[in-house]
Structure formats: structure tokens, C-alpha cells
């Protein structure tokens, strides 16, 4: 199947008898060209779903696949790109290098840095070190890095959490364009702007997906 698919996924943290289950039998899919918002109270498991979708972790049970493959099997961000809550940028590198990092290990066509910078209000930042930027700027740099290879699947964890109203609109517009261009986009978010542009909204509660 194309896009992102989780089938019967359960997952937990901790070793042996101390393992605590946090996701229970989750099934969801995001088709190419679709933007799905994942909502839920703090601790309900949104980040865990994002990490499994990104291939950062293997589920205890069930399957996760991206275009029919396990996401962890490929480090190619043209297949699955991630904007984690903590951004995961390389502090010592410049902004442009951070955005272009996925292009250094992939032969997929890249969106020019200048275009992403213009769309995400990062003009003039190319040579600035990430350690010299604000948290909101770092979040938009991580979004630009997620978009640079026009990935088949894009997973974002609270991507407007550090943005003011105007920049949050820029980020959500960029995500809507990515979906329109064919990416399957999964966004964990409390932001009503994200819900507004979503094709579907999924709700998690205590590790279970609520019925529509």
C-alpha cells in the first residue's frame, strides 16, 4: 500500500516486568496527498505514534509500513521525513547545511534552499549557525529539512508549537502544499490551524484511537 500504514500496533516503554504499555492496537493510514491531524491529551501517545511512523522505534506488536516497507529500513528522507518535537538539528552546522542534510545521502530531487527559506521566513539565515537561532526559527528549519526532498511520507510532531500566529500560518500552508503535491502527511498537533487544513482528524486517548 502507498503512504503510511500502522496495523494493530501496540507499544510500550521500559524493560521486562517494568514495561508499561502506552499504545494499544492502533490502526491508521495516511494516503498520498492526504494530511491527517493526530490529536490527544498530553501523554496519550502522539509522539510514540510519530516515532513508530518514522522508524525511530519498532512496535512491540503489529506492523508499520511506508510504501510497503518498514520505515526504519531506509535512511532516505525522500521516503519518510520527520520533524521531531526536539527538532534534531546539528547545532554546529549552518542553517542551509541543516536543511540540505537529507540531500547529501539521497539522489532524489531537492527543493532549492532559497525557496524553502522564502516560504518559511528564513531568508538571510543560510550561513547562520543553528546555535545562534531562536527556538521558533529552529522549528522552521526542521520543517524546511523535512520538506527538502518532497518525501513520500512526512511526519511532524507539534510543528507549530514554537510559532507566533503569522509563522504558524506559514508552516501550515507549507504542509498543505506538501500534501497537495502528493506527500502523505501525519501531524501531531493541538493547533486549530492544523485541524482546519486537515483532511481527517484522528483522536488518541490513553493510547487508543477514538472512533470517528
Q: What is the DSSP letter of 78?
A: T
Q: Which is nearer to ligand ATP, 43 or 92 (CB)?
A: 43
Q: Which is nearer to ligand ATP, 8 or 14 (CB)?
A: 14
Min CB(152)–ligand ATP separation in Å: 23
Query: Could you list the residues that contact ligand ATP (CB under 6 A)?
Result: 13-14, 22, 40, 42-48
The edge-to-edge listing of strands for the beta sheet with 184-188 is: 80-83, 153-157, 184-188, 35-39, 200-205, 208-209
Q: Which is nearer to ligand ATP, 114 or 205 (CB)?
A: 205
Q: Which is nearer to ligand ATP, 43 or 109 (CB)?
A: 43
**3-state SS, residue 154:** strand
* Of 142, 157, 131, 137, the residue nearest 98 (C-alpha): 142
Angle at 29 between CA 115 and CA 142, to 5 degrees: 30
Min CB(12)–ligand ATP separation in Å: 8
Angle at 18 between CA 13 and CA 21, to 5 degrees: 40
Min CB(59)–ligand ATP separation in Å: 13
Min CB(86)–ligand ATP separation in Å: 11
Min CB(43)–ligand ATP separation in Å: 4
Pairing status of strand 80-83 against strand 4-13: unpaired
Q: Which is nearer to ligand ATP, 26 or 117 (CB)?
A: 26
* Of 10, 32, 12, the residue nearest 184 (C-alpha): 32
For residues 175 and 136, give the distance between their C-alpha atoms in angstroms, rounded to a whole number. 16
Q: Which is nearer to ligand ATP, 22 or 100 (CB)?
A: 22
Min CB(132)–ligand ATP separation in Å: 27
Amino acid at each position: 500500500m502507498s503512504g503510511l500504514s500502522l496495523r494493530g500496533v501496540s507499544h510500550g516503554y521500559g524493560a521486562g516486568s517494568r514495561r508499561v504499555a502506552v499504545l494499544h492496537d492502533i490502526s491508521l493510514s495516511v494516503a498520498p496527498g492526504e494530511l491527517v491531524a493526530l490529536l490527544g491529551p498530553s501523554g496519550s501517545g502522539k509522539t510514540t505514534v510519530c516515532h513508530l511512523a518514522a522508524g525511530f522505534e519498532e512496535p512491540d506488536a503489529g506492523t508499520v509500513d511506508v510504501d510497503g516497507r518498514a520505515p526504519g529500513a531506509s535512511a532516505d528522507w525522500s521516503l519518510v521525513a520527520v520533524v521531531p518535537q526536539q527538532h534534531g538539528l546539528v547545532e554546529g552546522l549552518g542553517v542551509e547545511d541543516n536543511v540540505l542534510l537529507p540531500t547529501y545521502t539521497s539522489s532524489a530531487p531537492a527543493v532549492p534552499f532559497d525557496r524553502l527559506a522564502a516560504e518559511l521566513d528564513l531568508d538571510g539565515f543560510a550561513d547562520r549557525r543553528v546555535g545562534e537561532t531562536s527556538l521558533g526559527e529552529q522549528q522552521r528549519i526542521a520543517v524546511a529539512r523535512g520538506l527538502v526532498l518532497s518525501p513520500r511520507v512526512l511526519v511532524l510532531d507539534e510543528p507549530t508549537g514554537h510559532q507566533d500566529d503569522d509563522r504558524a500560518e506559514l508552516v501550515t500552508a507549507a504542509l498543505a502544499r506538501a500534501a497537495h503535491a502528493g506527500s502523505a502527511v501525519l501531524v501531531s498537533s493541538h493547533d486549530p490551524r492544523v485541524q482546519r487544513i486537515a483532511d481527517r482528524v484522528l483522536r488518541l486517548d490513553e493510547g487508543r484511537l477514538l472512533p470517528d
